[in-house]
Amino acid sequence: MDMWLQVCLETLGVEEETLEGVPAHLRLPVAVTRYWLRRASPEPTLLKALLMVVVQGELNRRTGGTTGWQGDTNHITEPPYFVVAHSFNQWQACLKDASQLNLLLCKPLPKPHFSWLYQGRLVHRRQKELQEREPEDIVQDDQFRRLYRRLLGAVTQPDPGANRRTGGPEAQLRASMEHLHLNTLDDEEEELGGAEGLDQGSDRLRVSVRTRYRTKDRKDRSRNPELWRKQEREGWG
């Protein structure tokens, strides 16, 4: 895999094989949608509506038509639901950031056709329609259904590398490092008097280090009293 493509996909938490079968210029939006679906808060509710509009725009782009794209929104007058608008804005923000990263990395993923990719008012309408019907009942077109299923599968399928990461050597190494880190924290807490010692900040830590230094100094002096008396005479003590 190209190094820049790997950087882009790892940032989005997507494996290349997940995007197999997705049209090239839709791979970035699909990867973004997958990332958004797993991390957005609250949990997104408009995934199907969003994918419907992406598919609809793509098919209209291919045919050069606008049926079911601009015309569907002419009569919409009511404002979008807050939850839908909030979730849609999150998705747009993810798409913007990912597009800038893709550009910075010299476009390892093809640049999407943004003008055909989505339309907020149409996403809002589709979301309302989906309260009563399924996407394939709303748009009864074989080409639409095939592409919609392909994108939905790419966005929602389990990560192909999940099993490898949970049981492979890399996962075991990460677990060992985390265990080591936790044990180190436990040792520090014990030296400083538990979690409360850590919460009291750097002053407590400096006191602990100073105390340990003085203890070590006393032990060194007891082992070699002649050297200690010599250092005191010379002004070291």
User: Which pLDDT value is given to residue 205?
Assistant: 34
pTM of the model: 0.64
∠ CA(109), CA(12), CA(52), 5° rounding?
A: 75
User: Which pLDDT value is given to residue 119?
Assistant: 85
End-to-end CA distance of the chain: 64
User: Which pLDDT value is given to residue 229?
Assistant: 63
Query: Taking phi first (over 0 means left), then psi (-120 to 50 degrees means alpha), and beta for anything else, what does residue 109 get?
Result: beta
The Cα 228–Cα 234 span in angstroms is: 10
What are the 10-residue block averages of pLDDT along the chain, 237 residues in total? 91 94 95 94 90 93 66 52 86 95 95 90 90 90 94 90 51 45 43 41 40 50 60 53
User: Which pLDDT value is given to residue 209?
Assistant: 37
Domain edges within the chain? 3-160
User: Which pLDDT value is given to residue 118?
Assistant: 87
Q: What is the DSSP letter of 113?
A: -
Which is nearest to 39 in space by CA: 81, 85, 94? 94
